[in-house]
Amino acid sequence: MDFSLPAEHRMIRDTVREFCDEEIVPIAQEIEDEHRCPTEVFSALADLDMMGVPISEEYGGLGGDQLMYALTTEEIGRASGSVGLSYAAHISLASKPIEMFGTDAQKERWLRPLAEGEYLGSWALTEPGSGSDASNMDTTAVKDGDEWVINGTKQFITNASEAGSVLVKAVTDPDAGYDGISTFIVDPRNDDGFEVTTIWDKMGLNASPTCEIQFNDVRVSEDRLLGEVGEGWKQTMKTLNGGRISIAALSVGIAQGSYEAAHKYSKEREQFGQPISKFDAIRDKIVSMDRKIERARLLTHKSAWQYDQGMDVTKSSALAKLDASEVAREVSEDAVQVLGGYGYTTDFAPQRMYRDAKLMEIGEGTSEIQHLVIGRELGL
């Protein structure tokens, strides 16, 4: 799609690609094996002004658009799904809502350090018993004088163990349904009662921390309420529209990395006196991989462009996320197959990408939920 990308977007994409090839690819398997969040990588991305790509320059961001952010996320995902996931959660879920719904004072205090990459951010919605019904939450925030007191448990929260701020969804009016949910900014380093109780071992993406966190009488001042009381669910829906685009981009990146590994191997590996790329079975598989990636990328770029035009992206973001996440799984699985026995070893990237890809069909709304969202948009 180079023909349709502005020069600035191509420059940013190429800069990030070079960085990823030099700084992330060589350690991608190592950090996965060590279950280590590579904070040094995020510090280096901050030095490149990449930790706040779609955030206003006024608050420390790069001032780019959603398409530029999608390109950046894809390139990082091509190198490491883990780094890409933590990056996407940091921007789409932890930073963007503060820019969209916060006061000037909140943006200066909480958004600037996120956009400048001082630390990672986190977003706490899901609970142990909620799953796809994310609005069914038990975490509460009760007003006590000029403070809010938060109690509850959140599950599968990306970056929580590394975060300098966490956006927490809590019930402020149990009788108001969707209108009884609000958003609070919690400081995990300084707010008493905040505890990371579990960092999960996972099928993949182990260099991106996924946590269970508990709030035990966590007290936050009134100025930690994001937006107005009862606006939390509306904020969540707007946040997830952008978040789905980032997961679509991340999925495209994982698929692209898998494809490149398979393509390279197929031209180097010889059987029966010729490269395996010359055999119909392998050639057709690689052609199919490329076709799927191009389709998913176009859907992702279309939704990002619509987002930048101020259009409603409920359908397009769900469609991009649904298609790209399935493509990531299919292409990475095919890449393992192309590499044969070597594809099953940790000496080659496709096995890691295959495991990473599966979460793309689960996180930020399962594929089943995307079908539901698209069906509603189609009037079904």
How far is Cα 274 from Cα 373, in angstroms, rounded to an integer?
48
For the annotated catalytic residues, the residue numbers are 364
The vertex-113 CA angle with 111 and 114, nearest 5°, equals: 65
Task: Extract the tokens encoding 294.
Answer: 């191009």
Question: Which secondary-structure segment (H or E) carries 187?
Answer: none
At 327, the amino acid letter reads V
How far is Cα 307 from Cα 66, in angstroms, rounded to an integer?
7
Which among 233, 260, 211, 204 has a CA at the least distance from the CA of 84? 204
Which among 132, 129, 134, 177 has a CA at the least distance from the CA of 153? 129
How far is Cα 271 from Cα 165, in angstroms, rounded to an integer?
54
How far is Cα 308 from Cα 290, in angstroms, rounded to an integer?
27
CB atoms within 10 A of CB 283: 14
Task: Extract the tokens encoding 291.
Answer: 């076709």
